[in-house]
Amino acid sequence: MMRSEHVWVLFLFLIVTVILSVRFLSIDHSATAEWGYVNAGAINPYYGISRPFGYRLLMPVFLNVVGIVPKPGEPWIPVPAAVLMCVLFYAFLRAVGFSRCESTFAALFLSLSGGMIDILKDFGINNTDASAHIFILLALWAMARRVDALFSFSVMLGVFNREWALVLLPAWYLFFYGFRVSGLSILRFLRVSLPSIAVYWMVRTIYFPHCALGVMGSDLSAIMPPSETTTLFYYWTELQTIDWSLFTNRLVSRNFYEFGLIALLPFAVRAFPFLLDGWKRVCIYYVFICILQFTVAADIWRLAFYLFPVLIPVFVLWLRWIGEQLGSRVQVIAGGLTSILVLKWPESIWMFFVSLVTCLGVEQYRRYSLKIKI
């Protein structure tokens, strides 16, 4: 058997190889990168001259401190960040009970996902996405290992970039307490959540506007109305109201088959009881977030970034279930077809259903052939 350090070397070699291949050999988003760089000031003012009060604050604050501004296409932030994301994802899955092999496959699938490819191709603003996902995964790992201080710290830094507190903080409570409410649970929840929210609020309302004034050289209130400068979690606060005609159109759109159907997987997976009880509740909560995002949010593509901590593990459990129910030979076929489909359509994990149906058809044909021979 291979020693543990050899396994880690092999794992890192596979991850780095895949990420570098995606970064340098996949389709180039050069046109989009130029657009992103020009318009990135709306999210990250240190890229340009647009509105200084963005909602992705971690990387702008860091770049302001060190005095470095990366240009679109420079790999020195997204590539190391992608490798670290895969390592943290592996550690998180091991913490919730997945085997080494399954965790490795999940990390490889993450490296080929649509959200990861966006980060690696660097639209000019996705350096911030990479830094956010590192702390999001670190928060999930800390939650699984029950390290409250690290979870709170990671949520604070992750929320600097996205409104992830709306996902991570309720997920933390569900993971530990479910729907039980007690004085102890509320006190612990406040101890975890309030420091991160308070620090985030201070950075957003005091430090960041001060930096923006220095960059813009003008009055902040002249650039953004005071009502928007008090917003806690969102750069753009206007949510789309429920429009049933729009919802109906989305049901027949490609987005539904990419993100809508896949959200039903946690309820369909036969291996679902394998997961920790707390993580089951988190998966169900993620499905709720998916439905909410799909029905009222203007940007469905965010689901590619929100759902990977649930979609990919459940996807790996499907492969395990296939192997247990249909045999190792069919599992190899499923894995091969899935790999090809993910490579061809990395943003469309729903294509796994095609390989699943194919595998079921192959197995049924094999059983039918055996009956005929008998």
- According to the model, what pLDDT value does residue 76 have? 64
C-alpha torsion sign, points 354, 359, 360, 364: positive
- According to the model, what pLDDT value does residue 188 have? 93
**What element of type H or E holds 349?**
none
* C-beta atoms surrounding 193 within 10 Å: 20
pLDDT band at 230 (very low <50, low <70, confident <90, very high): very low
Return the ∠ at Cα 330 (arms to 327 and 254), rounded to 5°. Answer: 130
Instruction: Check whether 247 has a pLDDT greater than 50.
Output: yes
Least confident of 143-152, 253-262, 315-324: 253-262
Least confident of 314-318, 325-329, 349-353: 349-353
- Stated length of the chain: 374
Percent of the chain whose pLDDT exceeds 90: 4
Query: In 3-state terms, what secondary structure has residue 142?
Result: helix
Whether 315 contacts 271, CB under 8 Å? no
- According to the model, what pLDDT value does residue 110 have? 79
259's tokens: 């993100």
CA distances from 178 to 171, 280, 282 (A): 9, 10, 9
- According to the model, what pLDDT value does residue 82 have? 78
Return the ∠ at Cα 267 (arms to 266 and 273), rounded to 5°. Answer: 75
Instruction: Check whether 4 has a pLDDT greater than 50.
Output: yes
- According to the model, what pLDDT value does residue 124 have? 45
- According to the model, what pLDDT value does residue 267 have? 47
Whether 134 contacts 33, CB under 8 Å? no
Over residues 331-354, the mean pLDDT reads 53
Which range is most confident: 17-26, 67-76, 88-97, 225-234?
88-97
In this structure, which long-range contacts are made by residues 187-193, counting pairs with CB atoms below 8 Å and at least 24 apart in sequence? 188/148, 191/148, 191/152, 192/148, 192/151, 192/152, 192/155, 193/152, 193/155, 193/165, 193/169
pLDDT 10s digits, 278-315: 777 777 777 677 666 666 655 555 665 666 777 777 77
pLDDT 10s digits, 131-182: 667 888 888 899 989 999 999 888 877 766 665 666 788 889 988 988 888 9
Q: Is 217 left (phi over 0), alpha (psi -120 to 50) or beta?
A: left
Least confident of 58-67, 140-149, 264-273, 355-364: 264-273
The number of angstroms, rounded, from the C-alpha of 304 to the middle of its chain's C-alpha atoms is 7
Instruction: Check whether 8 has a pLDDT greater than 70.
Output: no
Which range is most confident: 16-20, 108-112, 242-246?
108-112
Instruction: Check whether 15 has a pLDDT greater than 50.
Output: yes
- According to the model, what pLDDT value does residue 279 have? 76
Return the ∠ at Cα 177 (arms to 173 and 179), rounded to 5°. Answer: 90
pLDDT band at 236 (very low <50, low <70, confident <90, very high): very low
pLDDT band at 263 (very low <50, low <70, confident <90, very high): very low
Higher pLDDT, 250 or 324: 324
pLDDT band at 187 (very low <50, low <70, confident <90, very high): very high
Instruction: Check whether 111 has a pLDDT greater than 60.
Output: yes
243's tokens: 């429009």
- According to the model, what pLDDT value does residue 365 have? 57
Percent of the chain whose pLDDT exceeds 70: 30
pLDDT band at 40 (very low <50, low <70, confident <90, very high): very low
Higher pLDDT, 171 or 18: 171
Query: What residue spans define the domains of the chain?
Result: 1-224, 238-374
Question: Could you tell me which of 114, 117, 112, 92 has the C-alpha nearest to residue 168?
Answer: 92
Whether 285 contacts 169, CB under 8 Å? no
Instruction: Check whether 358 has a pLDDT greater than 70.
Output: no
- Tell me 271's DSSP state: T
pLDDT 10s digits, 53-109: 445 556 556 655 665 555 555 556 667 777 888 889 999 988 888 888 788 878 877
- According to the model, what pLDDT value does residue 86 have? 85
- According to the model, what pLDDT value does residue 281 have? 78
